[in-house]
Amino acid sequence: MSSVADAPAGGRDLCLTGLRKEYPNGFVAVQSLDLEIPRGSFFALLGPSGCGKTTTLRMVAGLETVTAGSITIGDQDITHEKPYRRPVNTVFQNYALFPHLSISENVAFGMRRRGVKDVKGPVADILELTELTEQANKRPAQLSGGQQQRVALARALINRPEVLLLDEPLGALDLKLRRAMQLELKRIQTEVGLTFVHVTHDQEEAMTMADTIAVMNAGVIEQLGSPTELYENPATTFVANFLGQSNLIGGSVVGVEGGADGQVKVDMEGTVVSIPVERAHTANTVGTKGWVGVRPEKVLIAPAGEPIDAPGNHMTGAVIVDSSFIGVSTQYVVRMPWGREMLAFEQNTGARGVLAPGTKVDVSWRPEFAFLLDSSQDIDAGLGEA
């Protein structure tokens, strides 16, 4: 248990290099993962069901053998370390509480195995933190789902591991408790300063809690970055569709103006729109095909002929085909002159009433909000999976 004892208090970075998992039946659940998770960060692994999130966590915990690649914490290679020697604890997707032990004994399990004599104080503290003091002497079977989940959390947290792996720890909670626990988790993480690797398929959860999100799909990381980065500048169609909604329109590059911070000019169904170079995830040579993307809330519309407060990409001849008023905003479906539909969300500022279907409108968006994606990617990737 040396690795547990000598771990420096502040923790170290967790590094996954070329990590791959092929199950004995030949199925490759994780392709080749490269991740660097700085110590003390709240890292979220986000992806649809079956994309390999649990498999990745299990490899880090040592519960699944690694087919290729390595896992290191600081400069310590733990790729082949026994699970009970790793400075890592897991909150399991299915809790895995010990049915024959009381709640307090469940929570004390890790400390006892490490030979800590006086467990009473820490156990009482952590039960207090997770609001389980009253349940201390009950058995897991006597608790509600949410309470069991908190026991699983307490049981792992009490050990103050360098890395805490959370496998959809809030999955079984109702919305209200879920929101409360999200805040609580985030607070605990900031307080204790541990590295949290949080697995979820709930994009909202990932965005509210994490410093960094890795979007995973079919065993590969699609994109890595802060929640705003991922949302504002998605690099693949999967991320564009899985994280929020996007309008994607086919086009081809007609030229580049300026240098590194210049604009890529794209001919989109007859209209030339510009996209900042750092938001164009394509080759940018003339003739390259791509998907022009823009988030629905960035799309502005106005009745035909009225001015729109957005310099740049401007299109006329669109018709509203559907409008739904949902209180804070109105969601419009707009048919563009070339036949495809676009989404536009308009804040309900009260400046204008809801435009009725059939109204002819002009459409516009600021160039700095558009992004350009590789046309070889499936335009529908990630749809309906969130």
Partner 1 sequence: MVALTPETDPTPDAVAGGPRQRRKLTGYWLILPTAVWLGLFFVVPFYSLLATSLFDPDGSVLTGYDVTYHFANFGHALSEYWQPMVRSLWYAALATAFCLVLGYVLAYAIAFRAGRWKNLMLVLVVAPFFTSFLIRTLSWKLILGDNGWVVDALQTVHILGSDNRLLATPIAVVAGLTYNFLPFMVLPLYASLEKIDGRLIEAASDLYASPSRAFFKVTWPLSLPGVVGGTLLTFIPATGDFINASLLGSPNQRMVGNVIQDLFTTTGDYARAGALSVILMLIILVLVLFYIRKAGTEELL
Ligand X SMILES: Nc1ncnc2c1ncn2[C@@H]1O[C@H](COP(=O)(O)OP(=O)(O)OP(=O)(O)O)[C@@H](O)[C@H]1O
The contact set with ligand X (CB under 6 A) reads 23, 25, 27, 29, 47, 49-55, 201
Q: Which stretch binds Mg ion (CB under 5 A): 48-56, 212-220, 300-308, 319-327?
A: 48-56
Query: Min. distance of Cβ 109 from partner 1 in angstroms?
Result: 5
Listed in sequence order, the residues at least 6 apart from 229 whose beta carbon sits closer than 8 Å to its beta carbon are none
364 makes contact with Mg ion (CB under 5 A): no
CB under 5 to 8 A by kind: which of Mg ion, partner 1, ligand X, none does 28 bind?
none
DSSP tally for the chain: helices H, then strands E: 9, 20
Q: Phi and psi (nearest 5°) for 192?
A: -90, -15
Residue 123 contact partner, candidates ligand X, Mg ion, partner 1, none, CB within 5 to 8 A by sort of partner: none
| Residue 13 near residue 212 (C-beta atoms within 8 A) | no
User: Nearest approach, Cβ of 12 to partner 1 (angstroms)?
Assistant: 18
Minimum distance, C-beta of residue 30 to ligand X, in the bound complex (Å): 8
**Which tokens in the block code for residue 382?**
């990630």
Contact 240, 246 (CB under 8 A): yes
Among the listed residues 37, 46, 73, 92, the single contact to partner 1 using CB under 8 A: 92
SS3 197: strand
CA 144 to chain centre: 28
Q: Give the DSSP H or E segment for 33.
A: strand 28-37
CA distance 233 to 210: 17
Among 54, 159, 195, 236, the residue binding Mg ion under the rule CB under 5 A is: 54
Contacting partner 1 within 3-22 (CB under 8 A) = 4
When asked if residue 196 is in the footprint of partner 1 (CB under 8 A), the reply is: no
- The listed partner (ligand X, Mg ion, partner 1, none) that binds 298, CB under 5 to 8 Å by sort, is none
Helix, strand, or coil (residue 261): coil
Number of residues located near partner 1, criterion CB under 8 A: 25
- The HSE-up count of residue 38 (CA atoms within 13 Å, CB side) is 6
Identify what 376 binds: ligand X, Mg ion, partner 1, none; CB under 5 to 8 Å per kind.
Answer: none
What is the three-class DSSP state of 270?
coil
List of residues contacting partner 1 (CB under 8 A): 1, 4, 61-63, 82-84, 88-90, 92, 94, 96-100, 109-110, 113-114, 155-156, 159
